[in-house]
Amino acid sequence: MTAKIDVVKLEKEKEHQIIVGIGNFSIKMVDDIFRAVLDAVPDVKVGVAMNEAVPKLTRFNGNDDALGRLAAENCRKIGAGHVFVVVMEKAYPINVLNELKKLSGVCSIYVATANDCEMIVAETKLGRAVLGAVDGTTANRIETDKELEERRALVKKLGYLLG
């Protein structure tokens, strides 16, 4: 038995945040994920899509048609059953991840990012599966003391206190 490995580049605009995960019970979960994102950040603009193994389609929901269709197209390109994609504006993944993880149908999250992102997908005779995500570029150095100070100042400015 063999598997073909494929790289799927997620399409997004610079201002978009993307979350990709895997869940169960697609017919219900696409709406549950949408509601969970709205509960976490009421003024978020969001599109949610999820692949259903049977009848082999991508379901989607959202409060912004363009984001809903973008989430659906990215999800369809990944092609793996039960994978979901969230594309949002006016919120960060850190604002919604805990709400998503609480959903009984969410199995795991592969990636949550604003970076350019590629999904590594394997394909067998049965179907497709996500092996992982490439989230942004490769680090090539360790931050300097000045960069450390700048990072901590930005985190504080965003309202997150260091423990």
The answer on pLDDT for 108 being more than 80 is yes
Contact 78, 129 (CB under 8 A): no
The domains located in the chain, with CATH, are: 4-157 (3.40.1520.10)
- pLDDT tens by residue, 60-86: 999 999 999 999 999 999 999 999 999
- pLDDT tens by residue, 28-50: 999 999 999 999 999 999 999 99
Length of the chain: 163
pLDDT of 120 reads 98
Contact 85, 19 (CB under 8 A): yes
pTM of the model: 0.93
- pLDDT tens by residue, 7-31: 999 999 999 999 999 999 888 999 9
Dihedral sign, Cα of residue 137, residue 139, residue 141, residue 146: positive
